[in-house]
C-alpha cells in the first residue's frame, strides 16, 4: 500500500483573534552544522564561535552559537506559528543571559502581553530556555499582526543545505608543510594514472622528493598518456611489482628514503617486504594503520585505527595501535587526543569482547601503561562523535561527542567506517602506516591523487618529527 507523505499546513491568528496571555513554543537542538551555516549566511566568522581550537581556549571552553541564532528562532515562532503567516516584525530587544553550546536543546516561548488597536501592533514577551530550564535569551518583540485569516497555507519545503569545502580543506592541509624541506620518498610501483599523479602532485607542492620504483618504460608511458610531468624526478627501474616493493624497502634501509609510498601494487606485496624479519622495517611497536580524516560534518580532526593492517587485534595489539595513533595525534598538533574505544554498546557486556577490551585499555591508561591521551570506552559510534547522542543517553565523559581518535574493534568495522566517511560524508582522507622505521603512505588502489597527496603531507610531518627526535 502506498503511503502518502503527511502534508503540513500553516495557520495564523489575526489581530482580533489574539488574546493577552496567548502563547506558542518551539524547540530546536543546536547542531554543529547550524553554527557553520549561520556564519556563512551572516559573514560572522568570529573565531569564538567558528574555530574549535580558539573556542577551547576562551571563556566557555567549547564552541558556542552566535547570539542571534537563538534570536532568529523567535522570528521563526512569530512567522510560522503565532501569530503566523502575514506577521511583520516591527521592533525587537533581546538580552543574552548565557551561551548556547552544541547539543543544547533550546525552547522558545512567546506570550502576548499588549495589543494596540490603532495600528494593529502586538507586543510579545520572548523567553528561550535550555534543556536544564535555564534562561539563555529573554526580550520583547513588537509585530504588525496579520489582518487576514490564513487557515490552510501549505508549508513550503526548503531544500537541504550541505556545507562542502573539501578543496579548501585540502589546501589548508597542504599549508601544514609549507616551508619544510621535502622528504625523500620511495614510491613502489606507481604504474597507473592516480598512483603516479599522487607523488608527482606532492613533488610539485614541495612535500616530497619522490623516487619512482618500477618498470621505467611503463612509468614513462603512463606519464606521456596522461600528461604527467616527470621532470626532476628520479626513476629506479624494477622488473615487476614484487621487485619494486623490495627495492623501495631497500632504499629506506640504506637511508636514501625517509618515507615509503604504495603505488598500484597490492598491499600484501608491499607489507610483506616491510614486515620481513631480516630486511624489513619493523620496530618494537606493533605495526598499525591510521586514517586521518577531515569530515565536514564533524568539528574535530578524526583518526580511525586500525582499518587496514590488523584484522582482529588482541588486547596487547590494541594497546600498541592506540599508542601509535596518540603519537600521530601529537605530531599533527593534538596535545592530548581524546580516544574513543568503539563497540556496539556503551556498557560492558561479557558476551562482547570489544567491550571487555575497551574497559581493560582504559584501566591501562589509568595505570600509565598508555600515555599521552584521554581514553574512554566502550562507546558506541554515535556517542563517540555526537554530543547530542551522548547527552540524550546521559553519558558524562570528556571524550563522548568530542573524540579525535576512534579505535575500532577490528579491521572490517574500521574499514567500513572510514570508507563510509570518505564516500558518503565527503571526508578528506589520508592513510598512513605507523610502528615502522619510517612512515608508509598506504592508500587504496581506488584512491584519488588528492588523497595520496594528502597522505604525503602526514608522512612528511612524521618524517620531520623523526628528524627532530633523531630517529632517522
- Answer whether 345's CB lies under 8 Å from 352's CB: yes
- Answer whether 7's CB lies under 8 Å from 154's CB: yes
pLDDT of residue 153: 65
Architecture in CATH for domain 166-469:
3-Layer(aba) Sandwich (3.40)
Cα torsion at 83, 86, 87, 90 (round to 10°)? -160
Biggest CA-to-CA distance, the chain: 94
pLDDT of residue 2: 41
Three cell numbers, residue 177: 608543510
Q: What is the pLDDT along the chain (472 residues), one digit of tens a residue?
A: 344 444 567 889 999 999 999 999 999 998 877 888 888 777 877 776 666 666 565 555 566 788 888 888 999 999 989 999 999 999 999 999 988 888 899 999 999 999 999 999 999 999 999 999 999 999 999 999 999 988 766 666 656 666 666 777 888 888 888 889 999 999 999 999 989 999 999 999 999 999 999 999 999 999 999 999 999 999 999 999 999 999 999 999 999 999 999 999 998 899 999 998 888 899 989 999 999 999 988 888 899 999 999 999 999 999 999 999 999 999 999 999 999 999 999 999 999 999 999 999 999 999 999 999 999 989 999 999 998 898 888 888 999 999 999 999 999 999 999 999 998 888 888 999 999 999 999 887 677 778 888 899 999 999 999 988 876 6
Architecture in CATH for domain 9-154:
Roll (3.10)
Which residues have a Cβ under 8 Å from the Cβ of 363 and sit 6 or more positions away? none
pLDDT of residue 154: 64
- State the burial class of residue 53 (Cβ atoms within 10 Å of its Cβ: 0-12, 13-18, 19+): exposed
pLDDT of residue 5: 42
Three cell numbers, residue 266: 597490492
pLDDT of residue 102: 85
pLDDT of residue 44: 73
Spell out the domain ranges in the chain. 9-154, 166-469
Q: How far apart are CA 209 and CA 120, in angstroms?
A: 74
Phi and psi (nearest 5°) for 379? -135, 135
Q: How far apart are CA 262 and CA 239, in angstroms?
A: 16
pLDDT of residue 172: 82
pTM of the model: 0.70
Amino acid at each position: 500500500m502506498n503511503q502518502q507523505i503527511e502534508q503540513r499546513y500553516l495557520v495564523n491568528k489575526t489581530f482580533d483573534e489574539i488574546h493577552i496571555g496567548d502563547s506558542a513554543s518551539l524547540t530546536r537542538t543546536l547542531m554543529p552544522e547550524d553554527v557553520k551555516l549561520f556564519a556563512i549566511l551572516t559573514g560572522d566568522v568570529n573565531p569564538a564561535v567558528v574555530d574549535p581550537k580558539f573556542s577551547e581556549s576562551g571563556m566557555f571552553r567549547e564552541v558556542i552559537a552566535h547570539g542571534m541564532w537563538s534570536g532568529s528562532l523567535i522570528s521563526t515562532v512569530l512567522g510560522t506559528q503565532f501569530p503566523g503567516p502575514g506577521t511583520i516584525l516591527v521592533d525587537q530587544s533581546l538580552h543574552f543571559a548565557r551561551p548556547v553550546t552544541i547539543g543544547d536543546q533550546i525552547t522558545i516561548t512567546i506570550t502576548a502581553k499588549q495589543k494596540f488597536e490603532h495600528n494593529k501592533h502586538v507586543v510579545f514577551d520572548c523567553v528561550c530556555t535550555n534543556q536544564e530550564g535555564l534562561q539563555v535569551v529573554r526580550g520583547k518583540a513588537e509585530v504588525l499582526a496579520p489582518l487576514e485569516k490564513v487557515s490552510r497555507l501549505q508549508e513550503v519545503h526548503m531544500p537541504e543545505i550541505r556545507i562542502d569545502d573539501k578543496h579548501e580543506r585540502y589546501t589548508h592541509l597542504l599549508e601544514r608543510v609549507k616551508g619544510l624541506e621535502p622528504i625523500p620518498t620511495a614510491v613502489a610501483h606507481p604504474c597507473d594514472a592516480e598512483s603516479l599523479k599522487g607523488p608527482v602532485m606532492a613533488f610539485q607542492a614541495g612535500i616530497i622528493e619522490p623516487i619512482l620504483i618500477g618498470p621505467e618504460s611503463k612509468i614513462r608511458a603512463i606519464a606521456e598518456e596522461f600528461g604527467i610531468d616527470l621532470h626532476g624526478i628520479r626513476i629506479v627501474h624494477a622488473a615487476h611489482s614484487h621487485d619494486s616493493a623490495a627495492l623501495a624497502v631497500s632504499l629506506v634501509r640504506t637511508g636514501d628514503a625517509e618515507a615509503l609510498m604504495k603505488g598500484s601494487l597490492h598491499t600484501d606485496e608491499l607489507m610483506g617486504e616491510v614486515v620481513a624479519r631480516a630486511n624489513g622495517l619493523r620496530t618494537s611497536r606493533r605495526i598499525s594503520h591510521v586514517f586521518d580524516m577531515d569530515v565536514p560534518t564533524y568539528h574535530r580532526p578524526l583518526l580511525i585505527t586500525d582499518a587496514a593492517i590488523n584484522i582482529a587485534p588482541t588486547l596487547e595489539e590494541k594497546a600498541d595501535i592506540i599508542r601509535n595513533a596518540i603519537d600521530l595525534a601529537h605530531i599533527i598538533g593534538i596535545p592530548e587526543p581524546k580516544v574513543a574505544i568503539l563497540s556496539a554498546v556503551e556498557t560492558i557486556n561479557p558476551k562482547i569482547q570489544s567491550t571487555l577490551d575497551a574497559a581493560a585499555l582504559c584501566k591501562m591508561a589509568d595505570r600509565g601503561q598508555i600515555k599521552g591521551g584521554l581514553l574512554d570506552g566502550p562507546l558506541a559510534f554515535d556517542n563517540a562523535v555526537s554530543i547530542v547522542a551522548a547527552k540524550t543517553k546521559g553519558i558524562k565523559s570528556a571524550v563522548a561527542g568530542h573524540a579525535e581518535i576512534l579505535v575500532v574493534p577490528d579491521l572490517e568495522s574500521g574499514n567500513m567506517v572510514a570508507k563510509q566517511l570518505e564516500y558518503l560524508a565527503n571526508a578528506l582522507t589520508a592513510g598512513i602506516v605507523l610502528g615502522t622505521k619510517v612512515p608508509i603512505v598506504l592508500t587504496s588502489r581506488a584512491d584519488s591523487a588528492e588523497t595520496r597527496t594528502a597522505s604525503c603531507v602526514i608522512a612528511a610531518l612524521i618524517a620531520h618529527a623523526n628528524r627532530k627526535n633523531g630517529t632517522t
